[in-house]
Amino acid sequence: MSELETKEELVLIANRKAPGDQWVLLIDPNHVYPSLTEALEGYYQETQTTDDFRLAPSEGKLYTIFSKTVEKAPPPPPPPPKKFNMYGDY
């Protein structure tokens, strides 16, 4: 039986615009939202999705998170044991 794991894919949806807490959505680059919450609401109004979000404040980036369940890859086999013999006989 194989194990399942959740993989997350981050997709950039908005960039912070200086000065302050202004945000520009990539789907509507002509509109500047005056706050993060208004940018999130604007994204929802445009896409009608209820995705999860990840904020990277030091980068000024806002991402949406797409999660998918995939089969977990089996661990690689361990390397064969090393053989040592001071006379060169194995």
Residue 60 has what pLDDT? 95
Q: Is the CB of residue 54 less than 8 Å from the CB of residue 10?
A: yes
More reliable by pLDDT, 74 or 26: 26
Note the pLDDT tens digit of each residue in 21-70. 999 999 989 999 999 999 999 999 999 988 899 999 999 999 999 888 88
Q: Is the CB of residue 24 less than 8 Å from the CB of residue 31?
A: yes
pTM score: 0.68
CA distances to 7, 40, 62 from 27, rounded to whole Å, are 24, 12, 13
Residue 1 has pLDDT above 60, yes or no: no
Residue 42 has what pLDDT? 93
Residue 67 has what pLDDT? 85
